Structure 1
Amino acid sequence: MPIERTIDNSADFMNAAIEAGEGILRLAPCWVPRSFLMPGKRIKLHPDDYYAMGAHRGGIDERWFASTTEAANDNREPDEGLSYVVHEGKQFTLRDAVAAHGSKLIGSRLWDAYAKWPVYSKFFDNMGPIPHHMHQSKEQAAKVGQEGKPESYYFPPQLNAIGNNFPHTYFGLEPGTTKEDVRRCLERWNEGDNGILDLSKAYRLKPGTGWLVPPCVLHAPGSLVTYEPQWGSDVFGMYQSMVEGRYVPWDLLVKDVPAEHHRDLDYIVEQLDWEGNVNPNFKDSHYLEPIPVADTAADGYVDRWIVYGRIKGEQLFSAKELTIDPGTKCTITDGGAYGLITVQGKGRIGNLALESPSMIRYGELTEDEVFVSEAAAQAGVTFENTGAGPMVMLRYFGPEAQPKAPNVGDFKK
């Protein structure tokens, strides 16, 4: 059963938690189900708990990190998708903490620009592929009172000992595909498989690599566990009518389309970034491999860029993977606030324990996730590996937090 914790969202208690952790906040696991997908069962949730929210909600296949973004699910819980800070047996949402202590947590630059933490990350873990879909642009999403969603992928080796049913992802559309080709697929929605994947190309997924995916570009993510830094939005449109023999409702194609265009096939097709989808050099434009931040292996640790690059000239998010050898202590400075998840080993971050659990009960508090304020990140955070093996952590950042981050393709240099 979920562990009940008292809500205390008073500004004074939130500030006490920030001060006690020296700018680092302990976060509870945030689980999200998807009714149209099948859980891959590799993100350490107890086998009895994948349907803890009810079978009618679907299985839990996602865990969201340092999230102030609500999940756009039907019949959802009011706080679904929101991360909770836990301190002295009480809790409050990270969203409320940012609202109360914005510049103290995320820095004045982000607070002045967005008045919120505008990004989040997640693990998604599915038995098979996700339907071919896109995420609306900022301008398109604004028409339904939402925000657009660029996103990125990294496939952590620690969670991908098995690839499940389809460790390949379809991206974009084959060069030469026409808008009329896509329109015909939409016309066949209720005739079974509408054939949209016949117009696309699949790439085999490799643990330890990733992709940068702009808005309005079609993609059908495969079945590797994926770490996914992204903009703080849950908009999407599914363009595939069936996946693995399961019907995808038309509602999931148009849920973030203005009501007057729900049957307007031309409007739906025009949502796509056509040049981005038929790009003949798609992989060169979007594929990522890790890049070391510096040559520190001799010091017992390696920090690597795993998500980097710009979308239309903007660095909207980025991410790093920090690996620390047993017995090693290091201090890491970063340009901005970040959410952190531990995927291997045990140790400490500042004055808080870190440990990657072997199994998690729904509602249980773990010691694997924290949020680090901008001030703490810029001053330098001390990590220590107290375990017998490597300690590995993934951390993601908000807009323009890492001006020295590489560009897409720099791993080839």
Structure 2
Amino acid sequence: MSTTIINQAFEAGEGVFRLVPNFIPRRFGEPGHRLRLHPDDYYPFGLKRGAIKERWFCSVVPAMNGEDAPDDEGLSYVVVPGSENERFSFREAVSSLGKDLIGDELYRKHGTWPMFAKFFDYKTPLFHHLHPMQKHAELVGKMAKPEAYYFPRQLNNHPGDFPVTYFGFDPSVTIEEVKERLLQFEATDTRITELSRAFRIQLGTGWYIPAGVVHAPGSYLTYEPQLNSDVNAVFENVVAGDNYDYHFLVENCPPEKQQDIDFVLELMDWDKNIDPDFKKHYFRPPVEVRAESGLYDEKWITYGNEYFGAKELTIEPGQTVTLKDSTAYGAVVIQGHGKFGAHDCEAAQMIRFGNLTADEFFISETAAKQGIVITNHSKTEPLVMLKHVAENNQEFPR
């Protein structure tokens, strides 16, 4: 895509891009059907590729979806205003606009937008797995993946089959016990979550999960900010009727280490996995950012880490506010309709795969600092959006 068209789209949106819905199929698990996708559109690539179970926001990285996936699967695309069939990748936009889009500090440090967010929508629980720490991810040319969870009420009309999440291992468990289970990975159901501990998911709250911590997400739809990575090691071989072969455990280990269970155990940050105060350290209830009675309310929902954050913004019915932020951010509308800067905005109700919506945006640093005028056009319903931001935001609660 030419730089001219990217610049024109940037100017027409007054520093705000409107993005195309970015749906991701996965071969494992069952879909939760809470992505507001049309019921007929969950298998757009056929049964072999699996059902749509995720939607990614502001992504400059492809999904790790195997050889059958197109090269750009996972990349977000920007709508060209006035020519909705014309699009360019968000990655191209970041490369072309650089600091004018994401700010000087982020661009100098990373050369790109360093995080993305997703809706993670499974009817069944996911396998007990971890995301390697940086020192291990680098061995296979990848990067660490700390992540955070938030459970929005607007997208959770049902809890799925198992609204409980396992984190790490009970403090009484030894690493030798975990090793014994992993050595049985190809022989029998290891029942590894018998060694873990579980927390019932509470809507309207969240968690932060460092790289190296084993976790098995429960079955509520989850809003998940994370770093630019799609890498894991699956520690659980049987879950919700699905079997996972040894490849899932070691696919992101160096080839010469894939039969070395001791190396696999090193992928864990063991002290964090058996932290007796795990909830105290990693549970994230909302923290108010700013509010004006009768107008709006904004809360931090992801915080307490050095990589990314997220906020939930609610504009009351019939109100208009101008809100300034210190850095660039992405946003997705999850309830209501109105105006977001130069763009009409509305929460999607039923999306046909391949069609556009008016619910996802990326806001440049300059536009964020100048302030976005947001109007709720409803007389009865709040306008609610989730906002994901990268590491250079100095406002994060610590």
Question: Does 1:167 find its partner at 2:185?
Answer: no
Contact 2:29 2:242 in 1 (8 A): no
Name the % identity.
44
SS of residue paired to 1:189? coil
**Once superposed, what is the RMSD of the aligned Cα atoms?**
0.9
Question: Does 1:111 find its partner at 2:107?
Answer: yes
SS of residue paired to 1:17? helix
Number of aligned positions between the proteins: 393
SS of residue paired to 1:293? strand
Letter of the 1:302 partner, please give it. Answer: D
Which of the numbers 351, 358, 376 marks the counterpart of 1:360?
A: 351
Per mean C-alpha deviation after superposition, the further-off stretch among 178-187 and 56-65 is: 178-187
Letter of the 2:79 partner, please give it. Answer: V
Report the counterpart of residue 295 of structure 2 in structure 1. 300
Question: Does 1:45 find its partner at 2:41?
Answer: no
Distance 1:192 1:122 in 2: 33
Report the counterpart of residue 145 of structure 1 in structure 2. 141
Distance 2:88 2:45 in 1: 21
SS of residue paired to 2:48? helix
Question: Does 1:77 find its partner at 2:70?
Answer: yes
Return the TM-score normalized by structure 2: 0.97
Report the counterpart of residue 258 of structure 1 in structure 2. 254
Report the counterpart of residue 36 of structure 1 in structure 2. 28
Deviation at residue 52 of structure 1 after TM alignment: 0.6
Distance 2:304 2:153 in 1: 22
Report the counterpart of residue 317 of structure 2 in structure 1. 326
Distance 2:378 2:70 in 1: 37
SS of residue paired to 1:143? helix
Unpaired runs of at least 5, structure 1 = 1-8, 408-413
Letter of the 1:374 partner, please give it. Answer: E
Distance 2:240 2:342 in 1: 47
SS of residue paired to 2:384? strand
Which of the numbers 362, 366, 381 marks the counterpart of 2:372?
A: 381
Which of the numbers 44, 53, 56 marks the counterpart of 2:48?
A: 56
Distance 2:294 2:392 in 1: 28
SS of residue paired to 1:392? strand
Distance 1:184 1:47 in 2: 43
Distance 2:181 2:49 in 1: 28
Letter of the 1:285 partner, please give it. Answer: H
Letter of the 1:122 partner, please give it. Answer: K
Deviation at residue 220 of structure 1 after TM alignment: 0.2
Contact 2:327 2:389 in 1 (8 A): yes
Task: Map 1:124-203 onto structure 2 (within 5 A).
Answer: 124-203=120-199
Letter of the 1:11 partner, please give it. Answer: T
Deviation at residue 277 of structure 1 after TM alignment: 0.2
Distance 1:53 1:334 in 2: 39
Question: Does 1:342 find its partner at 2:333?
Answer: yes
Report the counterpart of residue 208 of structure 2 in structure 1. 212
Q: Deviation string for 1:199-225 (max 9, x for gaps)? A: 100100011000000000000000000
Deviation at residue 249 of structure 1 after TM alignment: 2.0
Report the counterpart of residue 285 of structure 2 in structure 1. 289
Distance 1:249 1:37 in 2: 14
Return the TM-score normalized by structure 1: 0.94
Deviation at residue 190 of structure 1 after TM alignment: 2.2
Letter of the 2:73 partner, please give it. Answer: E
Deviation at residue 326 of structure 1 after TM alignment: 1.1
Report the counterpart of residue 410 of structure 1 in structure 2. none
Letter of the 1:326 partner, please give it. Answer: P
Deviation at residue 299 of structure 1 after TM alignment: 4.2
Distance 1:400 1:111 in 2: 11
Deviation at residue 189 of structure 1 after TM alignment: 1.0
Distance 2:93 2:250 in 1: 33
Task: Map 1:81-92 onto structure 2 (within 5 A).
Answer: 81-87=74-80, 88-89=83-84, 90-92=86-88
Distance 1:400 1:104 in 2: 15
Letter of the 2:189 partner, please give it. Answer: D
Contact 2:169 2:196 in 1 (8 A): yes
SS of residue paired to 1:228? strand
SS of residue paired to 2:140? coil
Letter of the 2:300 partner, please give it. Answer: W
Question: Does 1:309 find its partner at 2:304?
Answer: yes
Distance 1:295 1:25 in 2: 26
Report the counterpart of residue 395 of structure 1 in structure 2. 387
Letter of the 2:49 partner, please give it. Answer: R
SS of residue paired to 1:78? coil
Distance 1:319 1:264 in 2: 38
Report the counterpart of residue 4 of structure 1 in structure 2. none
Over 6 Å off, 4+ runs:
none
Contact 2:106 2:392 in 1 (8 A): no
SS of residue paired to 1:306? strand
